[in-house]
Amino acid sequence: MAASGGAVVLKTVKKIIVQFCPFYSNVRSTREFLILVGSEKARATNMNCEVITEVKHDRSEPVIDITFKRLVMKGSKITTQEMLSALQTRCSAKHPQAKTADKK
């Protein structure tokens, strides 16, 4: 997803669960986040991304749970290095800044 002020891109996101109580003292940023990721423009970047809203009435703290695409590795058929490489590739794809840090 992009920084504030930019477009929200949900390409690598599988599911977003936004839980909040409207009576909690500091829920504004969570509600604004929900508006941005639930917008038509953001949803168009990944039509398969689920955005689920859970409104609670227990004065609980707001929580945002983001699930990225799943990576399953069968350890009996690959080496530790191959597992680490696959994980690093996925992490780098999600965070472009990590790619530049690896090159330094």
Tell if the pTM clears 0.75, that is, is over it: no
d(CA 67, CA 10): 11
Which residues, 6+ apart, have CB-to-CB distance to 20 below 8 Å? Answer: 27, 30, 31, 34, 54, 55, 56, 60, 62, 63
**What are the tens digits of pLDDT across the range 21-63?**
999 888 899 999 999 999 999 999 999 999 999 999 998 899 9
Please, what are the domains in the chain? 9-70 (3.40.30.10), 72-104 (no CATH)
